[in-house]
Chains A and B, each alone.
Chain A
Amino acid sequence: MNPSGLPPLASLPGPQIRAVHDELHGDLLELSMGPHHPSTHGVFRMVVTLDGETVVKLKPVFGYLHRNHEKIAEGASYLGSMPYTDRLDYLCSMTNNWSYALAVERLAGQAVSERAEYVRVILAELTRLLNHTCLAGFLLQDGGASGTPLMYAFREREKILDLFESLSGSRMMCNYQRFGGCRADPSPAWLDSARALVDGYGRFLDEYEALLTGNEILMARTQGIGRLSPQLAVSAGVTGPMLRAAGVGYDIRKVDGYGFYPRFTFRVPIGADGDTYDRYMVRILEMRESIGILRQALRDIPAGPILDPKAKQRGLRPKAGEVYSRIEGPKGEIGFFLISDGGPNPYRYRVRPPSLINLTILEDMCLGQSIADSVVILGSVDIVLGEVDR
């Protein structure tokens, strides 16, 4: 696919990094960062080769958190895998749930109630707010701010988690979506508190941006750093805010129009330089669009059943066939590929993890940058190891 008519990758010059290696310049230093390291966002390891402080080679090593998710799911019932999807990207259990529910619904041909579609949009956009807020906090933490942005971000995240908890009973492992709808109906009081949160979120973003976006140290640390060309991004299958920061306006909410997204008006911000600053800013701007979607959804949400009681959950046996469903998760395209042989559990179950696929180009972005930048670049990729390793 070539969505923006870009020239092929092979015609572009690659990063021209050649380590000078003689008695004047000394040896290269190979540094193993992680899996125990404050800024590798979990048990991730980068084997970095340094020339002075410049990265000349970077090898990502992962798999420390492999839990055999996909094979286990092939032995579990369709519903039995739902709580397991919470643990993929544990910041975004709501969108993981939705993507999986969508796959099974398509496989089984189940319809979704109108109220449930609205609730799904609301929860997905709340998840996007939560994820991007955390990312902005962690990114600044990687850039050396001593916790203040992170704590501001976590204050807001806490409010969203409170909403999730009162709706689903769990802060992060929500296990909320069901085939054909949602597990619990949000009360009017819940919707009111969601409205209050959405109304206050713009103010929080203003405050956060006043603290950081115009900060010269932040701009000096992120502008022109970790450039990702749109060609490379498209060739590597990068999705989500990273792809849009590289200048490709590709958002599955617009492209596929799944759920009720075509009913809402929102814009898709795109970057021009594809550097770390763009990746940060695109997420900030996306949050502002999410607030708009949430306002519309919370205004228009209809009454009605959230889940058809006759919709089959346990003992679901979809007819034989295969399906790939995807949604625009906060980190990118989160998709599930299922093959059914008509039995009670999927014959094949496969996750398309945005974190892992976005991570594959880490070396290309880090070459020629300093070790300090590689940490910030990794932060701007936005990975969760639960999803990278599965």
Chain B
Amino acid sequence: MSAGPTDAHLLERAPFLLRDWLTHALPEPLRWFANTLIAIAAILAIFGTLFALLTLVERKVLGRVQNRPGPNRTGWFGILQPVADGIKMLTKEDIVPRAADPLLHFLAPVALLGFSVLTFAVIPYGRDLVAVRLDAGVLYFFAAGSATELSIFMAGWSSNNKYALVAAMRALAQLISYELPLLLSAVPVVLAAGTLSAPDIVESQGGFTWGFVPHWHVFTPWGAAAFLVFFISALSESNRSPFDLPEAESELIAGHLTEYSGFKYALFFMAEYFGMCSLCGMAVTLFLGGWQAPLAALEFIPSYAWFALKLCALLLVFIWIRATLPRLRMDQLTRFAWKFLVPLALVNLAASAFWSLSFGWAGPMQALRWAIGIALAVGPFVLLGRRLGAGIGPRTYRYA
């Protein structure tokens, strides 16, 4: 909760000016309280709107990929579709199965939404634009994020439905499996930045080599590999295709959501999108330079705009992947996590350590540093991938 940058231009300071204008009349302890409330309200409002827009964009993009227009009946280009959906969800009957555990059945979506909102607190959305400046922000993020597993299991168990139960078992196995590579791929960044605080990690990625290559972690060999692992794990953690097993429509109807209707269902949906947004936000923070501009000449655009742009780009990739890939099977999913992503992330830890150690190498040693760095990042990827893909491949066919 700093006063915001004072040397930056007006647009950069706009959020802080607005906040101070609203709360400047209040006495000090109350003012702090009001400022915090405003931060919470802003996060909920912005991500709530983003969620609404994202549901529309997702359906539009999916539609375009699949050669159909997508929703286009409500408002201009279907822009009012989220409103219509919201009204529909609110007015639908909330059905609780007779055999369900009503308390847990109610608690599951609420808890899930609560946990997923918590993760927004530590993501730096712009220069000094972070709700809580925690020293162990990254740790807190993963702790709050992993609590969502509990709610999904709660939903599956309390519904008293066989599909929901199978989905809950799948969700637990999947989320716990992918928690590990997700965390392990964030460790090299912490190692490189020397801090667990998200704003400081973004600060450490400032500056440019030769004036145009930003110092983002994704532009180092270990960073690119870690980003890939993080991104794949994030896909899985947010139950997105091709890892959408807990709610695998073609097998388990709607998985743990089978017995949910009306607004409870909408809450699940919302929490899922919030989780996706916060994971993408963390990916941007850890690897894509957070709110830093990609070019020095572009720094006049406010930092939060850069963050929003990067976030939206990652979200679009999520949607793109959903439109393209079929789903994995449960055993393949866990095998992929334990036999591919976890070893990759562990080796990558060594690659990142090497990169930090060889920081001072110059001249021809610099080329050697890149060669070793790339070998350490790509080598295990190729070797492990070959083992993973053993036994499958294209076939040739004969004719009778």
Using Cβ atoms and an 8 Å threshold, which residues of chain A touch B248?
144, 372
Chain B: minimal CB distance from A358 (Å): 19
Chain A: minimal CB distance from B93 (Å): 19
A142–B332 Cα distance when bound, in Å, is 17
B68 at the interface (CB under 8 A from A): yes
* B191-236 interface with A by 8 A CB criterion: none
Number of A-B contacts (CB under 8 A): 126
Contact A217 B389 (CB under 8 A): no
Interface string of B367-398 (1 = CB under 8 A from A): 00000000000000000000001011111011
With contacts A144-B244, A215-B326 taken as known, whether A151 is within 8 angstroms of B162 at the C-beta atoms is no
Contact A39 B326 (CB under 8 A): no
* A135-178 interface with B by 8 A CB criterion: 140-148, 150-152, 155
A346 at the interface (CB under 8 A from B): no
A267 at the interface (CB under 8 A from B): yes
With contacts A146-B62, A152-B66, A216-B392 taken as known, whether A373 is within 8 angstroms of B329 at the C-beta atoms is yes
B49 at the interface (CB under 8 A from A): no
Count of residues in A whose CB is under 8 Å from the partner chain:
53
Contact A151 B66 (CB under 8 A): yes
Q: Is the interface of B mostly helix, strand, loop or mixed?
A: loop
Using Cβ atoms and an 8 Å threshold, which residues of chain A touch B394?
213-214, 219
A285 at the interface (CB under 8 A from B): yes
B85 at the interface (CB under 8 A from A): no
A214–B62 Cα distance when bound, in Å, is 22
B350 at the interface (CB under 8 A from A): no
B81 at the interface (CB under 8 A from A): no
B143 at the interface (CB under 8 A from A): no
Contact with B400, one of A140, A155, A213, A251 (Cβ below 8 angstroms)? A251
B299 at the interface (CB under 8 A from A): no
B2 at the interface (CB under 8 A from A): no
Contact with A244, one of B244, B391, B400 (Cβ below 8 angstroms)? B400
Contact B65 A148 (CB under 8 A): yes
The residue on B at minimum CB distance from A225 is B329
Interface string of A268-280 (1 = CB under 8 A from B): 1111100001100
Chain A: minimal CB distance from B65 (Å): 6
A199 at the interface (CB under 8 A from B): no
With contacts A270-B399, A282-B397 taken as known, whether A144 is within 8 angstroms of B241 at the C-beta atoms is yes
A249 at the interface (CB under 8 A from B): yes
Using Cβ atoms and an 8 Å threshold, which residues of chain B touch A155?
67
Interface string of B286-326 (1 = CB under 8 A from A): 00000000000000000000000000000000000011111
B135 at the interface (CB under 8 A from A): no
Contact A370 B392 (CB under 8 A): no
A323 at the interface (CB under 8 A from B): no
Chain A: minimal CB distance from B389 (Å): 6
Interface string of A219-251 (1 = CB under 8 A from B): 111011000000000000000000010000111
* A295-322 interface with B by 8 A CB criterion: none
Most chain B beta-carbon neighbours within 10 Å: one of A144, A223, A250, A271 = A144
A205 at the interface (CB under 8 A from B): no
A28–B399 Cα distance when bound, in Å, is 43
Chain A: minimal CB distance from B116 (Å): 22
A19 at the interface (CB under 8 A from B): no
B91 at the interface (CB under 8 A from A): no
Chain B: minimal CB distance from A56 (Å): 15
Using Cβ atoms and an 8 Å threshold, which residues of chain B touch A285?
397
Give residues in B with beta carbon < 8 Å to A: 62, 65-68, 162-163, 165-166, 170, 241-242, 244-245, 248-251, 253, 322-332, 389, 391-395, 397-400
**Can you list 19 pairs linking A and B with CB atoms under 8 Å apart?**
A31-B162, A39-B249, A140-B326, A141-B250, A144-B242, A144-B244, A144-B250, A145-B325, A146-B241, A147-B66, A148-B324, A216-B389, A217-B325, A220-B389, A221-B327, A223-B391, A250-B400, A372-B248, A375-B250
